A and B are shown apart, each in its own frame.
Chain A
Amino acid sequence: MKKVRIGGGAGYAGDRIDPAIELIKHGNLDYVIFECLAERTIGLAKQEMLKDSSKGYSRLLEYRMSQVLKIAKEKHVKIISNMGAVNPKGAVAKIMEIAKEQGLSGIKFAYVSGDDVYDRVEEHYEDDIFEFSGKVKDYKERIVSANAYIGAAGIIEALRNGADVIITGRVSDPTLTVAPLCYEYGWNIEENPVEMGQCVLAGHLIECGGQVTGGYYADPGYKSVEHLENLGFPIVEFDESGHFTISKVEGTGGLVSVDTCKEQMLYEIHNPNAYMTPDAIADFSQVKFTQVDTNVVSAWGATSHGLPPTLKVNVCYKDSFITDCEISYGGRNALERAKLSGEIFLKRIDLLGIDYTERRVDYIGYNSLYGDKIGRALAGDGIGEVRLHVAVRTNDRENAVRVSNEGDAIYTNGPTGGGGATMKISEIINVFSYFIETSDIQVKVDYEVI
């Protein structure tokens, strides 16, 4: 029976690199995927590209590729990644440069484009924003980027044409896994609803790297996981019946169990009967996981129900500035002093007439995570130290700086014994979505050979 093995080489752009190297060297892989494009990352990449047209791909592309390209070539492992962000062509140019430096040849690169719909946002000005009230046109001056979550077609085409390294911009996260499986087995949504559901499940399980192999899981005394300092990243092994297992390289740290898989299956899922991706509306409601060996779990029971009628477009826009200020208080009465400090801070903002749109005061160690009700219940008899956090949203940097100055001044002008004051100003790129017809997207694949 034909087996296909795919490694999840990264859970996010800044993830550890050594587990990916371990996977490629010892995972007996056919493919390694790198999912490195968070929602707002593409907006940041676009801003970089506006300053330098050769940029606009993932900032860690060079770092990652310079370490994996050679061993992937030696081990005949194909690389699929969305690290192209808003410039897949530029990303391939950079990777080719690295390949040349390393003396590599005989590699075919593909870059997939067509997801960028920034030039056509205007056609959707009257559309309602999906996440909050308002129309697309309300943000027209502030939109930085607009990219559709596209499906597997471009990557499949690249594989058919013999590409070894495939770089995309915005594709749906599971697509990086779905595409090579569709290519290898010839599966499609009309004829293989069960297999497509299984593919999306597999892609969903490994797209966050170590989160399915024991990362983000340990809780001493409740859930133990060995050697997280050497966490192994996931390997999905399919066979042509559509069954698959999740495992990791032997000897690495971490844990692959029915429970790690259950947790990750529901991660960022809303309705488990209808998980929307451009490749399938996946249904995870009847999935069963079985521990078949140490650190090997099989999955079965996913299916799918056709394709969604539209594609989602991810729009990044310039939102606001947030100033975060913190200072710690300790000993008896720490919370009361932190509260006094917070009150003084807010009064100063009012007194100076700083122009803000939203503000919030937290007491870290008491109510910053869950609010007062749960915070009070968990705090018990008292707290020995607390850290004040004041966050203020402004529309411009000038007012953000004024807030920050007040954060600094609370040191010597506030209650006794405050320590470790920090201030940070962040420019906020936010995202919203609208939907477009699938037929409005023309996916294009280009190639380079070295």
Chain B
Amino acid sequence: MRLKEICHSRTGDKGDISNVSLIPWDEKDYAMLKEKITAEVVKEYFSDICHGEVIRYEVDGICALNFVMHEALGGGVLRSLAMDKHGKAISSALLEMEIPV
């Protein structure tokens, strides 16, 4: 199953740091996501673009995960050579991740 079937997501940017949320449509899926979508899983998935640490915050109030990816925006939003300098499209890639059911 792809994450897109059960979650939505939005990406934000600050300097060279990208943060990507992962929000289940059904809050009942939150516990499963917490177990399966670890910081390590996300770091490995984005190994081509994220060259630093990935920190995962659990946001229990709204039942969502927030991945903070360091060194992920080509040196920073304002000086990156990338097409998508803000990394706005990163959320769409996270939702393409396949998870075992």
Contact = CB atoms under 8 A, between A and B. Distances in A.
Interface of A: 39-40, 131-132, 216, 219, 222-223, 259, 262-273, 284-289, 301, 319-320, 322, 358-360, 362, 364, 368-374, 377-378, 389, 391-393, 428-431
Contact of A268 (B8, B9, B12, B75): B12
A404 to B, nearest CB: 15
A369 B8 contact: no
The A contact surface, by secondary structure, is mixed
Contacts of A216: 10
5 contacts: A262-B23, A270-B19, A359-B81, A374-B48, A428-B79
B34 interface: no
A223 B76 CA distance: 30
Given A286-B61, A370-B93, A374-B96, A263 B21 contact: yes
Nearest to A43: B78
Contacts of A373: 47-48
Interface of B: 4, 8-10, 12-17, 19, 21, 23, 25, 45-49, 55, 57, 59-62, 64, 66, 68, 74-79, 81-84, 89-90, 93, 96
A430 B78 contact: yes
Given A268-B12, A289-B62, A374-B93, A368 B78 contact: no
The 9 closest A-B pairs by CB, nearest first: A371-B48, A268-B12, A391-B81, A266-B21, A360-B81, A286-B61, A263-B10, A267-B12, A287-B61
Nearest to A301: B61
A149 to B, nearest CB: 13
A378 B96 contact: yes
B19 A269 contact: yes
A11 to B, nearest CB: 13
B47 A131 contact: no
Given A272-B59, A288-B62, A370-B48, 16 more contacts: A131-B16, A132-B16, A259-B8, A262-B62, A263-B8, A264-B10, A273-B57, A319-B78, A319-B79, A320-B79, A369-B84, A369-B89, A374-B93, A377-B96, A429-B78, A430-B78
Contacts of B45: 374
Contacts, number: 127
B4 to A, nearest CB: 7
A368 B79 contact: no
Given A266-B19, A266-B66, A285-B60, A322 B81 contact: yes
A266 B59 contact: yes
Contacts of B9: 263
Contact of B14 (A270, A273, A371, A377): A270
A220 to B, nearest CB: 13
Contact of A362 (B12, B57, B82, B89): B82
Nearest to B47: A373
A270 B17 contact: yes
A351 B79 CA distance: 26
Nearest to A211: B10
Contacts of B78: 39-40, 319, 428-431
A358 B93 contact: no
Nearest to B88: A216
A266 B10 contact: yes
A282 to B, nearest CB: 13
Contact of B61 (A284, A319, A322): A284
Given A272-B59, A284-B59, A378-B96, A389 B79 contact: no
B83 A369 contact: yes
